[in-house]
Structure 1
Amino acid sequence: MPPRLAFALVCLVAMLGGVVAVVKQGQLPPADFTFNNDTEIESLDPAVVTGQPEGRIIDELYEGLVKLGPKDRKPMPGVAERWEVSDDGLTYTFHLRRDAKWSDGSPVTARDFVYSMRRFLDPLTLAEYAYQAWYLKNAKRYSRAARGVEIGDRVEVELLEPSADALPFARGEVLRGELVGVETDPGVAAEMLDDPAKFIDYRTFVVSIDGEEQRFRIGDRVPARAPTGAKPCRQLTLDFAEVGFRAIDDYTVETVLESPTPYWLNLLGFYPLAPVNQRCIETHGPAKWTEAENLVTNGPFRLEFRRLRDRIRLRKNPHYWNRDGVALETIDALAVQSLTTSFNLYETGKVDWITKVTPLIARELFEAEPPRDDFNPDAQFGTYFYAFNVTRKPFDDPRVRQALVLALDREEIVTTACAGELPARSFTPPGLPNYDAPECPDTNVERAKELLAEAGYPDGTGFPKIEILYNYEQQHQTIAELIRKQWRRNLGIDVSTRNEEWGSFLSSQRQQKYDVMRRAWIGDYLDPNTFLDLFVTDGENNATGWGDPEYDRLIREAKAEADPEVRIEMLAEAERILMREVPIMPIYYYVSRSMVKPYVYGWYNNLEDRHPLWALSIDRTATGPNDFMSSEPVREIKLNRREPEGAEQ
C-alpha cells in the first residue's frame, strides 16, 4: 500500500475514536485553549509526582519563588519579586510580593514556603524528587530521618497523634530537643544493625527535652524488647530549623546551600518545589485535598473540575497577582492515550496543541509540500532508554547487561519506530556547551555473544525468560517488539513484552517489579547533573537497584566543586562508569514533535520541551506567523531512514 494512502487510512480509522472522545464533552462550553495531555495524571500533589503530564498541569496551578520563562527557560520573578545572592554563592534571599494570594484569597507568605519545603523533604512524604532540594544545607540529613542524626544534634520527635488544637490531618505533635544517646537492643546481630531497612527496629533514641531525658521508639507500637518507659513516636528527624530554608519574616525567604549551585534558581522554578496550602492539606487529608472542590493553589489557574478518562479544566485564578497578564480564561487538558486519535482531534479543530504525533504521521509531515507551518520538530534535552533491574538475575551480572546493550541495533529502531530521533549511546543528550558525554559501545553482536558465554549462557543456553515492561503507547510497543526480536535473533534468548497503564507502570517502577523497563528522562535543567544524579546508590529515581561507590563519590564531589572545568570532568568520569556498567541502555535522543495551531502565540521551542500555558494567547484573526512558527530550531532535525540495499543514494 502506498505510504500516503496508508496515512490517509490511519486518519480515517482514527476519526471514530476522535468522535467518541469529543462526544464526552456533551454540552460543555469549549475552553479558550485545548491540548492533549496524553494520559490520566497520577496526582495533583507537586511533591509526589514525576511525570510530564502531571507537570504540565501543576505548572499552571502553582507558582514557586521563581518561574521559568517560555522561550529560554531562564528564571524570572514568581512569588518572589526580587532576590539577592551572597558573594560566596551560598545564600539566596527572596523578597515575596505582598499581592501574592492563594485561590481562596488568603495571602501567600514565607511560612507557606517553609511548610511546603519541610513537607517535601519529610521522609514520610515519599517524594521521589526530594533529592533535588538536597543542595540545601542539611536537607539530605533531614530526609534521612533517624539515620541522618548524630549525638548532639537538635532533633524533632513527631508523636503519633496531633495536638488537641490541630486540624484533623495535621502532623502528630512535635517535640524538640537534643539527641543525647542511642541505645541498641542487646543480643542483636551486627548485620541486622547495619541493615538500613531495619535501622530503627533495634534502637531507642534518648532525647533531652527541657532538661528531661525521654526515650523514644519509632513506630506505631513499642516492642517488648524496648526499655521500660520508651514512648512510641511516628518519626525522629533532624530539627528542620537546621535546614538551610527559613522565613526571616512573613515576606522574606532565605535559602542556604551546602555549596554553590549554578542552577539553584532553575530548580526553584521546578514544579516539585512549588508551595502547597497547609490549611487545605490538613483540613481535607491526603485522599481529598487535591479534589476540585477542595484544592487551594496559588498559580495563574485554578482547578475547575476533573473528569476521569476525559479532561481536566483549568480556569484563570482571579486572585493571581498577575491575572491581568494571563490571556486565557479556560484551558482543557484531555487524557487521550491514542496518538492517532489525538492527531485526528487536532486536524478536526477539537484541540489546539498536541504534544507529539506518531512516527508514521511525523514522516508524512516531514515530507509535506508545501511544509506544514504548524509542525516544527526540534531537539529536546531527553533520552529514551531501557533500565535493567540488577536486583534480579541474570541482570546482576554486568556482562549480561553489556551483552544486551551490544546486541541492540539502534539504527533499526530509529528507522522503523521513530521519525527524526537520533540513536543514543550516552545517557546525557548532546547540546550542552563544554560537555562531551562518554558513550557506551556501539552494536557488536560477536562481542555480545562472547560476554553472554562468559556469563554462563553460551548461545543463550540456560538464559531465563525475561520480560520487557512498557507503558502503553503504540511506539513503545513497536520498540519493545523490535528489541525482543533483536535479542532473540542475536543472542538466542527468550523475551516477552507486557504493557501497563501509566499509574500501574509507575508503581511497578517504584517497587522494582520488572526485568527490563522502558524509561525516559527529560532534563529538569540544562546541566549533565540532571541526568547523572538519577543513578546514585538508592537514589529516589534510581529504580534499577544499581549503585557504585566511585560513581556516588564523583556525583557528590562534583556538586561541591567550584572550578567548572574540574566539575564537568568529574561528571564525565561518572558517566564513563555508567556507560561501562550499563544498568541502563540508551536507545535514542528525543526530538519534540508538537503540533500547534497558527493562531496560538507565546509557544516556543526549547530544549526542555516545556511550554507554560500562562504565556499563551489566541488570535484567530492573525495572518502572520506565530512564535512557534518563527522560532529558530536548536539544531537541524533530519528524518532518519534506512535505504534498501542497492537503492540510489
Structure 2
Amino acid sequence: MPPHSWTVPTRILGVIALTCSLVACGSGESNVESGNREGIFYYGNGSEPQGLDPHVVTGVPENHIIRALFEGLAVKNPYTLEPEPGVAESWDISEDGRTVTFHINPEARWSNGDPMSAHDYVWSWKRLLSPAMGAEYNYMLFPVKNAKAFATGEITDFAEVGVKALDDLTLQVTLTERTPYFIQLMDHYSTFAVHRPTLEKFGQATDRFTPWTRVENMVSNGAFRLKEWALNRRIEVEKSDTYWDRDKVRLNGVVYFPTENVVSEERMFRVGQLHYTQSVPLGKIPLYREMKNSPYVQAPYLGTYYFLLNTTRPPLDDVRV
C-alpha cells in the first residue's frame, strides 16, 4: 500500500487526466471537471460500506474509505510494498526478531487535536482481541505473544499479551516467534488505533455499530476526516488539518459512490461522473484496450485464496489419498 494514507487517492490522481476526455458533452459541469478544479476526487466504490469501524468491518469497499480516514503504525510503499513510517516514525527489531519497538511520531494527532500515544494501541488492540468483540480480523495480531490465547478466552488478563506502552511514545510488542511480515500487518486496517474517549462516549469498548462512526461524532487520525455520509448515495471525506503529513496531501477531498451495478458504475465513469472505477464489464475491456490514451489499466491485485478440505470423511480421511 502507499507510503501514507493520503497517497491512496493521490496515487490515482493521475487517472484524472485520462478521464477528462471521457466527460459527457452538455451545458452542465461534470464531477470530473469540477473535481479537477476543486481538488475533489470522485471514486466508484462498489457496494455501500457495512460500517466504518476498523475493528468490525471486513470488506474492500470499507477498506478504501477507512484507509483515507485512519493510518496505521506503518504503511506500505506503493511500488516496493516495503513498510514506511506512518503513525510510528521508526521502529526497532531485536536481534532474535521477537521484540518490535515502535516510536510514535510526536506530531501524530487525532482529528480533534488530541495527541496520539502508545496507549491508544494497547487499548485498541485489547478491543480487537477481546472475545466479546468477535472481530473477524483479530487473527492479524496472533503473531503477538498470547494474543490468540486472549482472543479465544484461554487467558483473561491482557497484561499477559505481548503489548506494552513503555511511555506515551513507545510501544513494545513481543512476538511468539520471529515474524518477518509483522511490520506490514500494521498497514492492515484491523490493526489501526481508534479514539478511546469517543468510543466510550457511546457505549462499551466492545459494542458494535454504535454512533461513534457518524459524521458528527467520528474522530480519526488519517489524512482525511468524515464530512458526509448519505446512506446508499455517497460518502465524502475532506482533508484533515491535524494530519501530521498534511502538507503533502494534494487532494481537498474524496467522494465515494456506492454503485453495486457494474454497468451503472462504468457508465458513470464514461460520462465523467467518476475519476476512478474498478468496475469494468468484461465485454467492454477490449474496447478500452483499443482506445488511444486508454484509461484502462490492468495491475496486480494481491490476495490469498485457499481450500478447506474435510479430512474426517472418505476419501480424504485416508492419508494415502
Normalised by the size of structure 1, how large is the TM-score? 0.41
Mapping 1:407-486, distance limit 5 Å: none
The residue matched to 1:123 in structure 2 has which SS?
A: coil
Say if 2:163 is the partner of 1:129. Answer: no
AA of the residue aligned to 1:93? T
The answer as to 2:38 corresponding to 1:62 is no
- Show the 5 A alignment for 1:521-540: 522-523=303-304, 531=305
The higher relative CO (CA closer than 8 Å, separation ≥ 6) is in 2
1:342-370 Cα shifts (integer Å, max 9, x gaps): 1121121111100120101113223x154
Higher CA-based Rg: 1
Q: Which residue does the alignment assign to 1:299?
A: 222
Aligned: 1:357 with 2:280: yes
Displacement, 1:376? 1.8
Distance change in 2, residues 1:268/1:547 (3 Å): farther
CA 1:369 to 1:110, structure 2 compared with 1: closer, same or farther past 3 Å? closer
| DSSP-derived class of the 1:57 partner | helix
CA displacement at 1:548 relative to structure 2: 5.3
1:436-469 per-position Cα deviation (integer Å, ceiling 9, x unaligned):
xxxxxxxxxxxxxxxxxxxxxxxxxxxxxxxxxx
> How many residue pairs align between the two structures?
276
**Are 2:288 and 1:374 aligned?**
no
Contact 1:85 1:91 in 2 (8 A): yes
Q: Distance in 2 between matches of 1:309 and 1:30?
A: 24
Give, as a single letter, the amino acid of the residue that structure 2 aligns with 1:332.
Answer: V
User: Given that residues 284 and 294 in structure 1 are in contact (C-alpha distance below 8 angstroms), is that contact kept between their aligned partners in structure 2?
Assistant: no
* Equivalences for residues 98-247 of structure 1 within 5 A: 98-145=106-153, 148-149=154-155, 237=156, 239-247=157-165
Q: Show the counterpart of 2:193.
A: 275
- Give SS of 2:300's match: strand
- Mapped partners of 2:67, 2:85: distance in 1: 14
- After superposition, where does 1:75-114 map in structure 2 within 5 Å? 75-114=83-122
For 1:325 and 1:84, how far apart are their aligned partners in 2? 26
What letter corresponds to residue 96 of structure 2 in structure 1?
Answer: D
Q: Return the alpha-carbon distance in structure 1 between the equivalents of residues 183 and 285 of structure 2.
A: 36
Q: 1:369 to 1:275 in 2, by over 3 A?
A: closer
The one-letter code of the counterpart of 1:272 is: S
- Once the two structures are TM-superposed, the CA of residue 46 in structure 1 deviates from its matched residue by 0.5
Query: Which of 174, 177, 182 is matched with 1:259 structurally?
Result: 177
2: CA distance, partners of 1:58 / 1:126:
19
Equivalent pair of 1:38/1:335 in contact (CA under 8 Å): yes
Question: For the Cα contact (< 8 Å) 1:62–1:274, is it kept in 2?
Answer: yes
Matched, 1:284 2:202: yes
- Could you report, residue by residue, the CA deviation over 1:71-101 in whole angstroms, capped at 9, with x for unpaired residues? 2322110111011100101101111111111
Change (3 A) 1:311 1:30: farther
Q: Distance in 1 between matches of 2:93 and 2:64?
A: 29
Q: Does 1:40 align with 2:40?
A: no
Question: Residue 360 and residue 123 in structure 1: after superposition, are their counterparts in 2 closer, same or farther (change >3 A)?
Answer: same
State how far apart, in whole Å, the 2-side matches of 1:97 and 1:83 are: 11
Q: In structure 1, what is the Cα distance between the partners aligned to 2:89 and 2:71?
A: 12
Secondary structure of the residue that 1:314 maps to in structure 2?
strand
Partner of 1:554: none
**1:326-341 superposed matches below 5 A:** 326-341=249-264
CA displacement 1:108-167 (0-9 Å, x = unmatched) = 01000100000000011111011111100000000011xx14xxxxxxxxxxxxxxxxxx
Q: Which AA in structure 2 matches 1:290?
A: T
* Partner SS state of residue 354, structure 1: coil
Return the letter of the residue paired with 2:167: D
Partner letter of residue 114 of structure 2? Answer: S
Give the aligned residue type for 2:245.
Answer: N
The 8 Å contact of residues 99 and 174 in structure 2, kept in 1 or not, is answered as: yes
1:547 Cα shift? 5.7
Contact 2:239/2:251 (<8 A) preserved: yes
Whether contact under 8 Å (2:38, 2:252) holds in the other structure is no
Equivalents in 2 of 1:358, 1:350: separation in Å? 17
Kindly state the Cα deviation for residue 374 of structure 1 after the two structures are TM-superposed. Answer: 1.4
Distance in structure 2 (CA, Å) of the matches to 1:548 and 1:50: 28
Deviation at residue 30 of structure 1 after TM alignment = 6.9
Q: CA RMSD in A?
A: 2.3
* Kept after mapping to 2: 8 A contact 1:89/1:261: yes
Measured in 1, the distance between the counterparts of 2:291 and 2:194 equals 49
- Per-residue Cα deviation, 1:261-306 (whole angstroms, up to 9, x for no partner): 1110111111110000000000023421110100000111100110
**Partner SS for 1:289:** helix
SS class of match (1:241): helix
Query: For 2:197, what is the secondary structure of its paired residue?
Result: helix
Counterpart CA distance in 2 for 1:312 and 1:336 is 12
Q: What is the rounded CA distance, in whole Å, between the counterparts of 1:61 and 1:319 in structure 2?
A: 12
The residue identity in structure 1 corresponding to 2:58 is T
Tell me which moved more, 273-282 or 284-293. Answer: 284-293
1:185 — aligned with what? none
Q: Which residue of 1 aligns with 2:248?
A: 325
Aligned AA (2:134): L
User: Could you tell me whether the CA contact under 8 Å between 1:31 and 1:332 is conserved in 2?
Assistant: no
TM-score for both structures, normalised by structure 2 = 0.81
Partner of residue 23, structure 2: none
- Going from structure 1 to structure 2, the CA distance change for 1:375 and 1:325 (only over 3 Å counts) comes to same
Q: Distance in 1 between matches of 2:40 and 2:291?
A: 30
The question of 1:344 aligning with 2:267 is answered yes
